[in-house]
Structure 1
Amino acid sequence: MAEKSDNETFNQKHRENRLLADATKELNEWTGEDEAVEIHMFRMFSEVFKPHNKDEADALFIVGTKTTTPPLTTVSSAPVKPWLFSRVLALLGISFGLLTMLFMVFHSNKAVPGMIFIGSLAVPFSLTIMFFEINVYKNISVFQAMQVFLIGGIASLVATMIFYEIIPSGNGVGLGSALAIGFIEETAKMLIIGYFINSFKVNYIFNGLLIGACVGAGFAVFETSGYTDQFGLATLFVRSWQTIGTHTIWSAIIGAAIILAKERRQPVQGKIMVRPKFLRFYVLAVLLHAVWDWQIPLPFNDPFDIQTWILIAIAWIAIFVLINAGLREVRTLQGQRIIN
């Protein structure tokens, strides 16, 4: 009986591994490589649990200038291991906890604006720092990243509002309405991402991931703040943790897709929108957004939040595949000796 149970467990794990391998192989084919991608999540985040000093953090933040951008020949193609984002998340989490204590214990309504701001900022901004860390080219500065985060986030909201005035979107509950909202918001962010890619004249997949993440994170912060002001603090507690798999990640996917589709050293042009390397990932982002908004009529969905967890997992699988494509790009460019 025990042997049968062990066999069933083994077979289940094998099916799960096979499903993951098939998914990563399909996504990796979209990047131009015909093989499955091994996802080592614990290895990637292994540095999070190790001690790091202030000098290491400072070294990460001074990159992106003329004197601190390394030549391509010295760029590392080793697996990325970000860690600083976890310290930023902890810092913001502690700040939010103190503000919550101020509100709950001392009944100070003056803490509410701070709770909304820090609560909306914590996860998206920490994800932005993560993508900043894994940009192995180190050719985008903190100032540039914050510029995209603030201006790009707000500009994408403005573009979204313009599209909403033009395109009927409904209430977001039905599938058709959710698809319209996904298309509108991801297209608005895509336009802003493309603008900053052109403005900074960047050409690498990791650059696209970072710029996309910055735009999406800015969008998420301001959107969550607005919803919290409208619907109350309960909304903040739900939306804040969910941003681990929403706008920041969807926009990072689109940013990388733009780089994949555009010709190297050429500006982003409208013709890339019909290229499969862009279109597939763009449609994926739109569908992830649409299904996230869609209230699927399943009796077991809401209690267990199955829909949310599945969508977060799919989005992160795409990110891992694109990170792998970015590292492969480094090795390819170094092999061809294409220098900045």
Structure 2
Amino acid sequence: MKDHPENQEVHEQKDASQQSEQPLDAPQSHTKEQHHQDTETIEQKTIDNISLTQEFKNLFNNTTRSIGKLAGNDEVLKINLADMFSEVFKPHTKQEMDEVFIAGTEYTTPQLDEVSKEWAKPFLFSRIFLGLATVFALLWIMVAFFGNPNGIGGLIFIGALTVPLPVLIFFFESNAFKNISIAIVFKIFFIGGVLSLISTLTLYEFVPVSDDITIFSAILIGIVEEMGKAIVTIYFIQRMNTYKILNGLLIGAAVGTGFEVFESAGYIFRFIPEGFDVMTQVIWLRAWTGIGSHNVWTAIVGAAVVITKGSQKFNWAHLADKRFLFFFGAAVTLHAVWDMPIAEDGILKSILLITLGWLLTFILMKAGLSQVTQLQMEAMKMNEAHQTQAQE
């Protein structure tokens, strides 16, 4: 780093007598000044970095709080992913796995005061993923190494299931109320998945979309498909008469996962004439993007339906509620941008959209956990009121 101009002039004008009287003072002063300036520069850079980090943190907190308020929760989103997934890498007994699967029956649904208000720590979804991935690998060996075409059917179906199904199990494990059984989840997955495809195709009869994907057609696709899935999601939410946000997330995820699995299997099947290698590439693409596409988008819509209707019966006027419009609009936007031909790096775009989708999902999960606290407090007040009346 250079000295300031005034310091350079001072050094040049010093005469020999001054230099002889103070031979070491000038260099020492120069060195100290340089060190002081270097220190100031480092401190300023550190302050700038801290300021940027704090600005980003403030932006994140304000954004998540604002979105959370629409879901009935005004707290900042605080989530420790390392803690949430801490059970994934620990050994678990068969009994522990059975306890997860038997949740939601008449005899295994916990009382409201027993429901946990803490973030869930799912683990079973990772075992489901490993099991499906192993089956897929064995089927791939059967076709690729032994040349047996009988494995292609299984390869298509398992390939379509390998990622979306574990994501659905993650939602199942995250339902703190544990009031929906795995049998009901699979019922919604299969029946809801097919019904959502049919409802979407019906809507396409009224809103024809060109095969050439443009920005406009991508928006239409997002609206039509999210509405098609929303109709089926609303049906199951209404039939189960639930007002719990975590239930809405699970029901929506089940419908969206069914839609995604059947759609992916169809896409993979259509690429069979292109050859085994091309078909395998399509399987990989549909698999990893299944981390957060239709399943997450429809989960967001399912939560929005529950938030909007509350404990009332759903009516179509709820669709005009700003809370539903926001979350439904968010799902449509994520879906539309996913299909838009706007980025050369499709992988980066998908990763960004998956991240945003899960961010919204975690905000809604936090609102669901806050609802647990609210319901428990209301139940406690009611019990106290009943006890007071009984004493009187």
Q: TM-score, normalised by structure 2?
A: 0.81
How many Å separate the matches in 2 of 1:3 and 1:153? Answer: 57
Deviation of the 1:80 alpha carbon: 1.2
Aligned in 2, Cα 1:276/1:100: closer, same or farther, shift over 3 Å?
same
2:290 match: secondary structure = helix
Equivalence for 1:270: 316
Q: How does 1:221-260 map to 2 (within 5 A)?
A: 221-231=261-271, 232-260=279-307
Deviation of the 1:209 alpha carbon: 0.5
1:239 alignment partner AA: R
Give yes or no for contact 1:172–1:178 (8 Å, CA) kept in 2: no
What CA deviation, in whole Å up to 9, does each residue of 1:164-201 have, x standing for no partner? Answer: 11112223621110010000100010010011111122
Q: Of the candidates 313, 316, 328, which is equivalent to residue 358 of structure 2?
A: 316
Give yes or no for contact 1:206–1:256 (8 Å, CA) kept in 2: yes
Give yes or no for contact 1:172–1:181 (8 Å, CA) kept in 2: no
Q: How does 1:1-340 map to 2 (within 5 A)?
A: 3=42, 10-11=50-51, 13-171=53-211, 173-231=213-271, 232-264=279-311, 266-296=312-342, 298-299=343-344, 301-302=345-346, 305-337=347-379
Give yes or no for contact 2:338–2:350 (8 Å, CA) kept in 1: yes
Give yes or no for contact 2:73–2:366 (8 Å, CA) kept in 1: no
12-21 or 85-94, which deviates more: 12-21
Larger Rg: 2
What CA deviation, in whole Å up to 9, does each residue of 1:11-67 have, x standing for no partner? Answer: 554444344323312321221333421132222111111111110110111121211
How many Å separate the matches in 1 of 2:314 and 2:160? Answer: 31
What CA deviation, in whole Å up to 9, does each residue of 1:240-267 have, x standing for no partner? Answer: 1101110000000001110100031x22
Give yes or no for contact 2:226–2:331 (8 Å, CA) kept in 1: yes
Give yes or no for contact 1:116–1:233 (8 Å, CA) kept in 2: no
> Would you say how many aligned residue pairs link Structure 1 and Structure 2?
334
Give yes or no for contact 2:102–2:182 (8 Å, CA) kept in 1: yes
170-179 or 181-190, which deviates more: 170-179
Give yes or no for contact 1:70–1:137 (8 Å, CA) kept in 2: yes
148-157 or 122-131, which deviates more: 122-131
Aligned in 2, Cα 1:11/1:142: closer, same or farther, shift over 3 Å?
same
Give yes or no for contact 1:172–1:293 (8 Å, CA) kept in 2: no
Q: Flag structure 1 segments of 5+ consecutive residues without an equivalent.
A: none
Q: Percent identity?
A: 39
Deviation of the 1:10 alpha carbon: 4.5
Higher RCO structure (Cα 8 Å, ≥6 apart)? 1
148-157 or 3-12, which deviates more: 3-12
1:51 match: secondary structure = coil
1:235 alignment partner AA: V
Give yes or no for contact 2:73–2:370 (8 Å, CA) kept in 1: no
1:78 match: secondary structure = coil
2:162 match: secondary structure = helix
Q: Flag structure 2 segments of 5+ consecutive residues without an equivalent.
A: 1-37, 272-278, 383-392
